[in-house]
């Protein structure tokens, strides 16, 4: 993909089909993060049942967290059973299934909310569809063997994310000729491959992968040029919440990055990002409501 291609058409996509349901994207949608892991960078272990040496998910804690996010205005709940923080080890297929599927099943039984599953594992993709998920959010863009075929066999939406390398090594000297063009070219190719495999374009959204194989400068270059990525023709899902690109600017640990995360969410949405993935749902919803009010005021003149 050339610079001219990116500068040609930059109109945000208007909706996304998720397991037979349409998510309208005329206003930014909030995706609440539900990590059912012991080692995620910001909230690992918070949903542990406790009392055992091996991490086990508490369904009661998970459902309480979902209730809180839904009440705060979350449109989508993103369930993840494998940490993808820099340096994170891989988990086994069985571990991921045991963490994720009971939670997806319980959410679907108790809430009318869209469910995303943050996974790259084919068996988890298949089991998530059966359990009632609506979307697969894959940091590896369906590149694991069998993942593309598993996703194509469902009716789930898919989010294809860019990551240079794997989580264990992705922050070891990442480099690009032009980060926007390189990331956009990768996502364009992956989108085409998905379409050839039978995944309709209206089921695809894209994520440039802030913090995944990118330096601080790369991340802010992407954010400053985010609007150009609408030339790819798919909704954009953006995750900046509590990430190191926020912490590096603020000089703050993950727990103290709310203000910077809100700024990032508003900047991304102002550039046309349609789905904002966050840890702190209520303040993000409020911040985006202010942005929407500003946009509506401009339309009323």
Positions annotated as catalytic residues are: 243, 277
The pair of three-digit structure tokens given for residue 239, joined into one six-digit string: 């995750």
**In 10 A of CB 72, how many CB atoms?**
16
Chain mean position to CA 207: 7
Beta bridge mates, 32: 77, 278
At 280, give phi and psi (nearest 5°): -105, 90
* Run of H or E residues at 161: strand 157-161
Strand order in the sheet with 237-239: 204-207, 157-161, 135-138, 114-118, 76-80, 29-35, 275-278, 237-239
In order, the DSSP letters of 194-257 are HHHTT--GGGEEEE--TTSS--HHHHHHHHHTGGGGGGG-S-BEEE-TT-HHHHHHHT--GGG-
The pair of three-digit structure tokens given for residue 197, joined into one six-digit string: 């495999």
Query: How are beta strands 15-18 and 21-24 bridged, if at all?
Result: antiparallel
* C-beta of residue 49 within 8 angstroms of C-beta of residue 58: yes
For residue 57, the 8-state DSSP code is B
Query: Which parts of 2-136 fold into alpha helices (H)?
Result: 3-6, 59-72, 93-110, 122-131
């Amino acid at each position: 993909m050339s610079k001219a291609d990116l500068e040609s058409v930059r109109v945000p996509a208007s909706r996304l089909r998720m397991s037979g349901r349409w998510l309208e994207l005329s206003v930014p949608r909030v995706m609440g993060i539900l990590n059912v892991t012991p080692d995620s960078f910001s909230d690992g272990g918070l949903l542990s049942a406790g009392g055992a040496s091996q991490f086990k998910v508490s369904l009661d804690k998970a459902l309480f967290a979902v209730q809180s996010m839904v009440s705060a205005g979350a449109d989508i709940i993103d369930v993840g059973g494998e940490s993808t923080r820099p340096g994170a080890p891989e988990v086994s297929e069985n571990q991921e299934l045991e963490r994720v599927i009971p939670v997806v099943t319980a959410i679907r039984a108790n809430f009318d909310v869209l469910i995303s599953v943050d996974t790259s594992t084919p068996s988890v993709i298949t089991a998530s569809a059966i359990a009632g998920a609506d979307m697969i959010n894959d940091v590896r863009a369906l590149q694991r063997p069998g993942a593309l075929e598993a996703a194509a066999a469902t009716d789930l939406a898919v989010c294809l994310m860019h990551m240079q390398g794997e989580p264990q090594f992705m922050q070891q000297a990442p480099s690009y000729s032009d980060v926007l063009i390189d990331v956009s070219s990768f996502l364009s190719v992956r989108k085409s491959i998905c379409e050839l495999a039978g995944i309709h374009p209206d089921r695809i959204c894209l994520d440039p992968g802030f913090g995944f194989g990118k330096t601080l400068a790369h991340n802010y270059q992407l954010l400053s040029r985010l609007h150009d990525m609408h030339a790819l023709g798919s909704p954009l899902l953006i995750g900046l919440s509590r990430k190191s690109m926020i912490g590096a600017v603020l000089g703050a640990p993950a727990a103290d990055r709310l203000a910077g995360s809100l700024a990032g969410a508003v900047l991304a949405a102002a550039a046309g990002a349609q789905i904002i993935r966050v840890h702190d749902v209520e303040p993000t919803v409020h911040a985006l409501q202010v942005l929407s009010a500003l946009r509506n005021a401009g339309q009323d003149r």
